[in-house]
Amino acid sequence: MDTTGIAHALIDWFGRSARKLPWRAPETSAWAILVSEFMLQQTQVERVLPRWTAWLERWPQPSALAADPPGEAVRAWDRLGYPRRALWLHRAAVEIAEQHSDQVPSDVNQLLALTGVGPYTARAVATFAFGERHPVVDTNTRRVIARVVHGRAAAGMPAARDLDDMAQLLPEEPAAAAVFNAAAMELGAIVCTARAPRCDECPLAAWCEWRGTGYPDNAPEKRPKQAKFEGSDRQARGRVLALLRSAHGAVTRAEAAAAARAGMSPAALAANPGQAERAVESLLRDTLVIAEGERLRLP
DNA sequence: AATCCGGGGGC
DNA sequence: GCCCCAGGATT
């Protein structure tokens, strides 16, 4: 495998074709980059942009967020989805303020110790905020490597091997390695896409094993399909939180349960009795909602 | 290793 | 309608 040629072509393409995303600006703080990585976990770039800007305007440092109640983070998270991430980001801000003098750590192990920071986010922050040399592997990178290196139509289940695969391709120079990491993610996001890859625009087409072998239909077994959202507990939870974000005081359990049922068909309600109450209880368990007396509010 | 966790965009 | 998305925590 011509790793030097691949790295050069990909970095060159990134210089020409990368989107101008604000968290890639050179002066972006490590905190701002950390916030972007939290928001980008399973949420697309276009939806993140306005929330990211507003978040950093309001909370320019971890200590600023840590000083506000966690419910404010849940409210500002708006509809980015998976609101537990807002809670985790708040906890991470408290941890950074209390344990790291309000400075985002650069060490991968210290980053991994923060709430809500896993293998992807830790290496992304160490790499993009501090210029360290690590393989940064996300869903885009895994797909690019699956196709270019392994000749497969799609990536399989995430595995430790993914980090080794990426490390094999990484340029020696840390700055070049950081750009290469970002470029692999960008290529997967806008050219080597899951659905309809734009191979005619791909800078790695000449090296791509999947292309070279005639696009075999050899996708490995995918992770189990996510349950349908319509009618799910997640949807019910989302409706309750939407009510609490807009309500500035507390609401009753009856109001919360009614919000959980809003829009459900009579048949769906009959098929899933008690779902609304379960949704409220699970939000309480997750501390996304807290009870004070008979009423409920954001934490 | 499997499940859970939002919500929206693309096709 | 279905698939996918800059994942991580929990069991």
What secondary structure does DSSP assign to A15-74, as a single string?
Answer: HHH----GGGSTT--HHHHHHHHHHHTTS-HHHHHHHHHHHHHH-SSHHHHHTS-HHHHH
What does the pLDDT read at residue A168? 96
Catalytic residue chosen out of the listed positions A27, A37, A172, A277: A37
- Cα-based angle A3, A161, A133 (whole degrees, multiple of 5): 55
Is residue A221 among the annotated active site residues?
no
Nearest protein residue, CA measured to C1' of B4: A234
State the pLDDT at residue A224.
75
Q: Beta-carbon neighbour count of residue A215 at 10 Å?
A: 14
Confidence tier at A227 by pLDDT (50, 70, 90):
confident
The confidence band for A255, taking pLDDT boundaries of 50, 70 and 90, is very high
For all residues of chain A together, what is the average pLDDT?
A: 95
A134-192 confidence digits (pLDDT tens): 999 999 999 999 999 999 999 999 999 999 999 999 999 999 999 999 999 999 999 99
Residues of chain A above pLDDT 90, percent = 89
> Which nucleotide is nearest to A23 if distance is taken from CA to C1'?
C6
Distance in Å, residue A16 CA to nucleotide B3 C1': 41
Q: Could you report the per-residue pLDDT of A277-299, keeping only the tens digit for each? A: 999 999 999 999 999 988 999 99
User: What is the nearest nucleotide to A37, using C1' and CA?
Assistant: C6
What was the pLDDT predicted at A273? Answer: 87
- The answer to whether strand B lies under 7 Å from the CB of residue A261 is no
**How far from the centroid of its chain's Cα atoms is residue A166's Cα?**
19
pLDDT top residue among A107 and A273: A107
Strand B close to A81 by CB, under 7 A: yes
- The letter for the amino acid at A43 is T
Q: Which nucleotide is nearest to A84 (CA to C1')?
A: B5
Backbone angles phi, psi at A277, to 5 degrees: -65, -40
Which conformational region is residue A287 in: left (phi greater than 0), alpha (psi within -120 to 50 degrees), or beta? Answer: left
Token pair recorded at residue A176 = 């070049």
Rg, Å, chain A Cα set: 22
Protein side of the strand C interface (CB < 7 A): A 21, 23-24, 36-37, 40-45, 82, 88, 115-122, 124, 138-140, 143, 154, 182, 185-186, 188-189, 193-195, 222, 225-226, 228
Strand partners, A295: A252, A292
pLDDT for residue A264: 87
pLDDT score for A276: 94
A232 touches strand B (CB under 7 A): yes
Bases in strand C with any atom closer than 7 Å to a protein CB: 2-9
